[in-house]
Amino acid sequence: MSIPVSEAHAASYRAREVPTPAQVIDGVWAVPVPLHGSALRAVTVFLIETRAGLVLIDAGYDHPSCWASFRRSLTAIGHSVEAICTVLITHNHPDHVGFADQVRAVSGARVMMGAADDFAAMHGVRGGFLEQLRTALDLTGAPRDVIDGMYADAVKVAEHHESLRLDTALTGDTELRFGDVTIRALHAPGHTYGHTVYFDTRGLVFTGDTMMAEGPTQLAIVNRPGDDPAGDLFRSLDRIRDLGAAIACPAHQFPYREVGGRAEELKAFHQAEVDQARTIAGPGDTAWDVARRMPWKKPWDELGGGTRRFSLVHTLALLRNAR
């Protein structure tokens, strides 16, 4: 359903290459930042030109290669880090918060993110990411040796500095004005509990990891009694659909048109997942029981360890909406 704004950008993504920086519309730049050693390959940050200075959406990994690539790209499009006045972060995953502190140190920019994703607040309510994952694995009903093994594997690859200090923690919906540009920060949970999308009133919505051009959305980790990330996502997709945006700018893949149609398509996909989990689940079945019978791309026993962990936690999230 999604139509690429730039066929060249989409072709680079599909060829598993990192695209070069490109203008989305006049005054808005997509700046892909390579993520060395990551299966994601790149995260796209966005630069918005305003009379008040540059506004940056998201901030890559906290890694020297990301920082160097970002600075080179800014130079190539005629800008500099020093001109950035504000960093708007969609959510608190490491490929989005990474070099925000470095931008602030160079330019004095304000750093903003949704209040529920503020690390200080999250630690007080949910704990750190590894603590959340351990709780979720315990809730799946998987055998103890499986849980211990999945958690140990996650710890090996966990590189997540959870210390970023915000200048502003955004609560609810907030209108932000930068000279001639107005951006509405809209709470859009589902991928994380504080995920925020940013709607540039000229018709662009910066969707973070909530709504890519292709493929599903990774649901937030369930670790509290009232958590329902699938339900959160359905409501967030409805909000994005109703904005009337002409272009969606996701943090991965490529910017695209037909935003409302893509929101409906993605909602239908995840609703079908919820319905499938509901159909499979018998009385007393746990997420562990259901996950092994869900129709993944490969049979359960053929999935890699990391994919099994993701699929198990994802099933737990689906069941929160199915029951």
pLDDT in tens, 69-122: 999 999 999 999 999 999 999 999 999 999 999 999 999 999 999 999 999 999
Any idea how long the chain is? 323
**Which residue bears the tokens 């890694």?**
63
Gap between the Cα atoms of 103 and 105, Å rounded = 5
The neighbouring-strand residues paired with 112 are: 88, 168
Among 83, 88, 115, 118, residue whose Cα is nearest residue 100: 88
User: Is pLDDT at 212 greater than 80 in this prediction?
Assistant: yes
pLDDT value, residue 38: 66
Topology of 3-126+166-266 in CATH?
Metallo-beta-lactamase; Chain A (3.60.15)
Residue 260 has pLDDT above 90, yes or no: yes
- Residue from 206, 196, 191 nearest 270 by CA: 191
Distance separating the N- and C-terminal Cα atoms of the chain: 30
- pLDDT tops 80 at residue 150: yes
Residue 158 confidence (pLDDT)? 73
Least confident of 129-143, 147-161, 183-197: 147-161
Virtual CA dihedral for 290, 216, 43, 82, nearest 10 degrees?
-110
Residue-wise pLDDT tens digits, 287-317: 999 999 999 999 999 999 999 999 999 999 9
- The per-residue pLDDT for 35 is 81
pLDDT surpassing 90 at residue 156: no
Question: How confident is the model at residue 157, as a pLDDT?
Answer: 74
What would the two tokens of residue 264 be?
A: 């409906």
Residue 281 near residue 273, CB atoms below 8 Å: no
161 pLDDT band (50/70/90 cuts)? confident
Helix (H), strand (E) at residue 273: helix 259-280
Is the per-residue pLDDT at 184 higher than 80?
Answer: yes
Using one digit for the tens of pLDDT, what is the confidence trace for 6-60?
999 999 989 998 889 999 999 999 999 988 766 678 899 999 999 999 999 999 9
Question: What average pLDDT does the structure give for the chain?
Answer: 95
pLDDT of the residue at 37: 64
pLDDT confidence of residue 118? 97
Whole-number pLDDT of residue 166: 98
How far apart are alpha carbons 41 and 28 in whole angstroms?
A: 22
pLDDT band at 172 (very low <50, low <70, confident <90, very high): confident
CA 296 to chain centre: 22
Q: Which of 39-43, 147-151, 248-252 has the least mean pLDDT?
A: 39-43
